[in-house]
């Protein structure tokens, strides 16, 4: 007699990292975000696109808990470790290595362990040769790599990046992109079943194609399109988003 086949395995839906319901952010009379409803699950690689002033940085700041919503609701998995790279990374006036060590130490890592982890992180981004140099004397591309190393050393489950390659030359841009791709392919501190989640803003649509799994298009603080990356570049889009894509290509 034939044994019954086991029931098909269903992998559980990935955990939700953020759930935003009709979120608005008001700066005086400027409405930086309005009616943003967004669910981001573990392991997604979300690109935020839109013209200057459309609300990308504000949305990243909301996700990182730096800016409170003026209206609506932000729910977030508080157990996840987060790190954010800002549009202009802030370097402490000390050595490259200490920029990482201090970040770890402030979060409770013993100084000696922090030094070991900092060296590994510097090796990871190819900055070990300048470990003792003052971080403020690094070039723009090197500073961006140091900022990534600093984030990487914290072993975050979630990484937010605001235009991580905006002011870099093509070579540095490729290097930082490769690091971002590596990062997105790694898993979070909880183990292999917990992929890292990344959300980044970018004006570079080639980069969005290469790195994102999903694209959120913002205009005047509103989400006008929210699609898997393939559909964003190949499918029909709302007119404003289609014009933006055409404009950024030329």
Ligand X SMILES: Nc1ncnc2c1ncn2[C@@H]1O[C@H](COP(=O)(O)OP(=O)(O)OP(=O)(O)O)[C@@H](O)[C@H]1O
30 binds ligand X (CB under 6 A): yes
81 or 88: CB nearest ligand X: 88
Window contacting ligand X (CB under 6 A); options: 50-58, 106-114, 115-123, 242-250: 50-58
Residues forming a β-bridge with 199: 46, 160
Long-range contacts of 237-246 (CB under 8 A, 24+ apart): 241/217, 244/49, 244/50, 244/51, 244/217, 244/219, 245/205
Q: Which does 30 bind (CB under 5 to 8 A by kind): Mg ion, ligand X, none?
A: ligand X
C-alpha span between 209 and 175 (Å, rounded) = 16
Pick from 14, 24, 35, 53 the residue near ligand X by CB under 6 A: 53
57 binds ligand X (CB under 6 A): yes
Calculate the alpha carbon distances from 23 to 35, 133, 220 in Å.
5, 43, 14
Residues within window 2-21 making contact with ligand X, judged by CB under 6 A: none
Q: Could you tell me if 205 and 173 are in contact, meaning their C-beta atoms sit under 8 angstroms apart?
A: no
Three-class DSSP category at 118: helix
* Count of residues touching ligand X (by CB under 6 A): 11
Pick from 19, 26, 31, 57 the residue near Mg ion by CB under 5 A: 57
19 or 51: CB nearest ligand X: 51
- Binding stretches for ligand X (CB under 6 A): 27, 30, 32, 50, 52-58
């Amino acid at each position: 007699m034939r044994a019954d086949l086991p029931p098909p395995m269903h992998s559980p839906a990935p955990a939700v990292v953020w759930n935003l319901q009709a979120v608005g952010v008001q700066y005086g009379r400027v409405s930086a975000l309005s009616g943003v409803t967004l669910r981001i699950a573990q392991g997604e690689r979300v690109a935020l696109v839109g013209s200057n002033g459309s609300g990308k940085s504000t949305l990243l700041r909301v996700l990182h808990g730096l800016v409170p919503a003026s209206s609506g609701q932000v729910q977030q998995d508080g157990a996840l470790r987060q790190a954010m790279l800002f549009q202009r990374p802030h370097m402490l006036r000390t050595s490259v290595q200490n920029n990482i060590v201090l970040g770890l130490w402030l979060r409770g890592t013993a100084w000696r362990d922090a030094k070991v982890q900092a060296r590994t992180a510097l090796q990871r981004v190819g900055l070990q040769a300048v470990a003792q140099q003052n971080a403020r004397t690094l070039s723009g591309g090197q500073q961006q790599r140091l900022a990534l190393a600093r984030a990487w050393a914290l072993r975050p489950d979630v990484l937010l990046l605001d235009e991580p390659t905006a002011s870099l030359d093509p070579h540095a841009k490729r290097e930082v992109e490769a690091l971002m791709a590596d990062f997105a392919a790694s898993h979070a501190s909880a183990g292999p079943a917990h992929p890292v989640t990344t959300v980044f803003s970018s004006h570079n649509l080639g980069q969005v194609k290469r790195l994102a799994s999903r694209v959120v298009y913002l205009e005047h603080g509103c989400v006008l399109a929210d699609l898997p990356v393939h559909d964003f570049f190949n499918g029909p889009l709302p007119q404003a988003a289609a014009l933006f894509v055409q404009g950024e290509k030329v």
